[in-house]
Every structure is written in C-alpha cells, then in structure tokens.
Structure 1
Amino acid sequence: MHSHSHQHGTDDRIGWAFFLNVTFTIIEFIGGWLTNSTAIMADAVHDLGDSLSIGFAWILSRFSNKAAPDKYSYGYRRLTLFGALVNGVVLVIGSIWVLFEAIPRLTTPEMPVVEGMLGLAILGVAVNGYAVFKLKAGETLNEKVLTWHLLEDVLGWVAVLIVTIVLLFVELPILDPLLSIGFTLFILFNVFRNLKSTLVLFLQAAPDEETQQNIKQTLIKLPEVNGVHHMHFWSLDGESHVLTAHLELSKNSSVNELVALKQTIAIELSEYKLSHTTIEFEFPKETCRDEHEKVT
C-alpha cells in the first residue's frame, strides 16, 4: 500500500509539472509574438523541450510499476531514450527557427514591448519556481533530473527579467536578440551532447568501456572459467544495464558445482548493479551454438 501511494504521489507531481509547463509554454509563444521578443520565443522553445521531457517522464513513471509483457520483455525503460530523441529533434528545429528570427535583428534591432516582457518574466519565474517546489518533494531519479531542468528555466527567466528591467530604463533593443541567441546556443550545445549519448545507447554500445573490461576480467579470473566470449554489455536507458555472456568452463562440473559457481558469479557481479544478467556455461570441447559471433 505504501509503495502504491508513493508511486501515485510521484505521478501526481510529475503530472502537475507537465500540465503547468505545457500551459505556460503556449502562453510564452503567444506572448513572444505579441511582445515582438525573440528572447521570449527562445525561452518558449526551451520550455517546449522541457515539456516533452516531463511528458515522457510522466508516461514512464506510470508504466514503471507494470509487469513487463511478453512482447516487451524488458519493460518500458527505453521510452526515455525515445523521448530524448524526439525532444532533441524538436529542440534543434525550434532553435534553428529562433536563430533565423534573431540574427537579422542584430543589424536592425527592434524594441520589444517591454511592459509585456516584464509581465511574462515575472510569471515565468513564478510558474517554473512553483514547478520546482512541487517536484523537489519527490525522491525518484526522474523527479530529481526534472527539478534541475526546471531550475534552469527559472534562471533563464531571471535573465529575461534582468534584461527587461534594463530595457525599461535604457533603449538598447539589441539586448533582446543577443539574449535569444545566447539561450539558443546554450540549448543546442546541450541538445547535441544529449543526442550523441542517446544515439550511442540506441545502437546498444557499451555504456562504459572501462566497466565492460572490469566485468570481463572479473569473470575470467574465476578458477572455474577458462574463457569468456559472446559477451554483450548494453543499457536499456543509460541507467539500467544488461549483461549476457558465454563462459567456457575449465572442466566438466557437477550440478552442485555449477550451482556454487552461479552463486559466486552473482556475488562477484553484484558491485556492477546490473538490471538483467544472462550467463551461459559451455563445457570443455563443447561447440558454441553462436560460433559465428564468437570473439577470441
């Protein structure tokens, strides 16, 4: 009952943050257009990306306690990768659009509607600050990551607020496109960094090559093991890792010896906190059924 209540609380908090962010993102796009501010538009693109992140986190949170069906035997952890990919594509398209709008204004800057910008900036700090407050109460990794995303948004709106206050007293319209370009380059830097790691995980590359080698050495050093091949170390979502391997045994072992070896392997691999582990034993002179993929 406690676990169910805790999960329900997590869903509620992430759901609240999602609907709050989506609603405010729509307000931002409309407000950016009405105030003629590319800085507001750039922040709207940033918030759109965060809305997508929160949306996929909310979906994942709702699926996380469900038993894995036969068709999706590993569960739904890879939804986060799909979410990150969609998020990255949307942010790249949105950022390019903002740059096309902002760069020409460097030569012919236009004064935005400063009073409207001020109202949106205050609202932005308040809305994102409230979302941070709601998610800060959570203990799950999803909630902690999203809290940092929203805290970034708060700081972005503080920057808009500062520029707006300056524009109230000094007519420097170039500050608006400069701020929007700064926001957009920051977004693109993070997007390309995250897209690279997401694509690597999609291709089922080893999440960490050093850990992969350490696991292999851990298995090879066992006296009962003569060799390791057909080893695959990959990640469902960047956090939940999977290992499969064939172990060549140094001698023909009894059932009791194999059971003891399985327990030893479980203890030796426990430090790597693997989500799924599949180990196949091969006896001396036994032909590997996956011989065509064997690596010596």
Structure 2
Amino acid sequence: MHHHHHHDHSTVRYDRAFLIGIVLNLGFVMAQATFGWLTNSLALLADAGHNLGDVLGLAIAWGAYTLARRRPTKRHTYGLRRASILSPLINSSLLLSVTVFIAIEAIQRLIDPKPVESLTVIIVAAIGILVNGATALMFQKDHQHDVNVKGAFLHMVADALVSVGVVLSGLIITLTGWQSIDAIASMGIAIVIGIGAWNLLQESLSLALDGVPANVDLRAIQNYLLDLPGVGSIHDLHVWALSSTEPALTAHLVMLAGVPGSDFLARISHDLHDRFGIEHSTIQIETGSAFLPCMQSDCGM
C-alpha cells in the first residue's frame, strides 16, 4: 500500500528571496566592476567576476526550486523533484572552484605583494557584507534540512565572509601598512568556504546516489516497524530522497497472521510521516508463504 503526504517541510516560499537576492547581487557586481575600473583595482574586478558566479549559483538554485514544484507527468511520474538535488551538486562544485581561485590568488599575493587601495576596497566590501548578509538571512530558515536552499545560503555566507575578510585586512593595512595580511586573510576564508562546500558536495552526492537523508534515522524506523503488533520480520527496507526535502520509503513486512486491514497501514503511514518525516511510504505485507519468496531479501534490511 502506497501513501503520499505532499507537505513541504517549509511553509516559506523562496521565489521572492531568490529574485531579491539576484537583483541585489547583480547591482553589487555592477558597482564593483565600475569602481574597480575607475580605481584600477584588479582585486575589485576579480571579486566582481566571483560575485557574478554567485548570481549564477542563485539562478541555478532558483531554477531547481521552481522545477521541483512542478506537477508529475506521464513521463516524469514523480515530477522534477530531483532537480533540487542536482542544483546543490552544481553549486558545491562552483564553491569549490571559488575556493581554489581564492587560494591561488592568495598565494600569488604572498609571493608578489601588491599595494591595496584600502579605503575604496573597505567601502565596497562593507556594502558587500550588507548585500550578501541580507540575502543569506532570507535563506537562513530552511538551510539545515533543504540541501538546495543550503547551497544558496552557503554561496551568500561565503561572499559575506570574503567581504568581512577584505574589510578587516583593509583596516589593518591602513593602520599598519602590512600588505601580506590581505593574502593571509584570503587563505583563511578559502579554507572556511572549502569545508562548507565539501560538506555540501558530500551531502548532495549522497542524495543523488539514493543515500539515506542525513535527517532520517534508519535504525529508529527499523525498530518502529519491528515493534508493530503482528510483524515477525522486515526486509527490503529502503529510504532515499525524492527531492531535497522529501524522503521516501519502501518496506516488506512479514506478518504470518495476514494483513490486519487498511487502518493498520494508514497508521503506519501517518507515524512514518509524523515521527520520521517520510513523505512517501510504500508498505508490502507478506504472510511468509513459500510461494512469495523475496528475491531481494539479501539486499535489504
């Protein structure tokens, strides 16, 4: 018996957040490019290019968010929910690329320090903190359990961190003249961004390969099913993600006395949803007959 609870874990709609975030960041990119050109600041021009990549990341996440909400069709019977898992895969790869870019730039600056126009850079970076911080806050609510929203959130937090580092290093350069602090701060920021991006890549790759979502306790679900009255054993227990917020489950319950009735199955479905966050559940009851062997019993739990 199959049950589907089409409830979003979040009641928040992110279309407006994505739109505002993209508009704000595009405006900031134009400002960076303009001031970078006027002040002949290679650092500002490079950061404008980096932020343009983050606008692309937001657009990818928004596209996936929109596709995931489309209704199922005869060709795509689950809809296009998987797009919300593919998006953070792309975004984590973009973030790792940014990390490598920042690290290379930092090493080059350590080897060949260049004077930094600290006042202009500080002002532009301070605006960046406001823009990226405000955008990140719009995605803060659900970044823990929606890996697609997490990708957008990490992009904005990464940019805000870079801007904080630029402001602090600019202030230190202004006060002490120590040019190398810019490169040292950049390396530290690259490490922080890299760790977040790597974790996001692992999480989204696991979901793409039908891994159990991180917020689902498979052992607790197994114990719950085994404790149900009349259940002698279970096998082929599988949990995976249909989307970044919708875990699905299938299981075979061996009940020698037979199927207790539809109310029993309905209760299981509601318990799986309310206690474990399972949005889709498919339960098959087996009576242990010799004519109903499970061909996959060695593969599942």
Q: Following the alignment from structure 2 to structure 1, what is the Cα–Cα distance between the partners of residues 183 and 42?
A: 11
Residue 237 of structure 2 aligns with which residue? Answer: 231
Q: Which moved more, 1:228-237 or 1:19-28?
A: 19-28
Contact 1:227–1:247 under 8 Å retained in 2: yes
Contact 2:239–2:249 under 8 Å retained in 1: yes
Assess, with a 3 A threshold, how the Cα gap between structure 1 residues 250 and 99 changes in structure 2: closer, same or farther: same
Structure 2 portions without partners, runs of 5+: 1-10
Assess, with a 3 A threshold, how the Cα gap between structure 1 residues 191 and 288 changes in structure 2: closer, same or farther: farther
* Greater helix share, structure number: 1
Alignment coverage as a number of residue pairs: 283
Residue 263 of structure 2 aligns with which residue? Answer: 260
* 1:280 equivalent among 279, 284, 290: 284
Residue 113 of structure 1 aligns with which residue? Answer: 117
Q: Which amino acid aligns with 1:220?
A: L
Q: Which amino acid aligns with 1:108?
A: D
Instruction: For 1:83-232, list aligned pairs within 5 A.
Output: 83-131=87-135, 135=138, 150=156, 153-208=159-214, 211-232=217-238
Cα deviations across residues 227-249 of structure 1 (Å, max 9, x unaligned)? 21111111234532110011122
Q: Which amino acid aligns with 2:128?
A: G
Deviation at residue 277 of structure 1 after TM alignment: 0.5
Assess, with a 3 A threshold, how the Cα gap between structure 1 residues 26 and 196 changes in structure 2: closer, same or farther: farther
Q: Taking structure 1 as the reference length, what is the TM-score of the superposition?
A: 0.78
Secondary structure of the equivalent of 2:261? helix
Deviation at residue 285 of structure 1 after TM alignment: 0.8
Deviation at residue 17 of structure 1 after TM alignment: 0.7
Secondary structure of the equivalent of 1:225? coil
Residue 21 of structure 1 aligns with which residue? Answer: 25
Q: Following the alignment from structure 1 to structure 2, what is the Cα–Cα distance between the partners of residues 227 and 210?
A: 21
Contact 2:136–2:157 under 8 Å retained in 1: yes
Deviation at residue 165 of structure 1 after TM alignment: 2.7
Residue 243 of structure 1 aligns with which residue? Answer: 249
* 2:71 is the counterpart of 1:67: yes
Q: Following the alignment from structure 1 to structure 2, what is the Cα–Cα distance between the partners of residues 127 and 264?
A: 47
The alignment yields a C-alpha RMSD, in angstroms, of: 3.5
Q: Following the alignment from structure 2 to structure 1, what is the Cα–Cα distance between the partners of residues 49 and 26?
A: 10
Cα deviations across residues 198-234 of structure 1 (Å, max 9, x unaligned)? 2222221222597211111211222222221111111
Assess, with a 3 A threshold, how the Cα gap between structure 1 residues 94 and 152 changes in structure 2: closer, same or farther: closer
Q: Following the alignment from structure 1 to structure 2, what is the Cα–Cα distance between the partners of residues 113 and 193?
A: 35
Assess, with a 3 A threshold, how the Cα gap between structure 1 residues 275 and 29 changes in structure 2: closer, same or farther: farther
Q: Which amino acid aligns with 2:249?
A: L
Assess, with a 3 A threshold, how the Cα gap between structure 1 residues 118 and 222 changes in structure 2: closer, same or farther: closer
Q: Which amino acid aligns with 1:114?
A: S
Deviation at residue 281 of structure 1 after TM alignment: 1.6
Contact 2:68–2:84 under 8 Å retained in 1: no
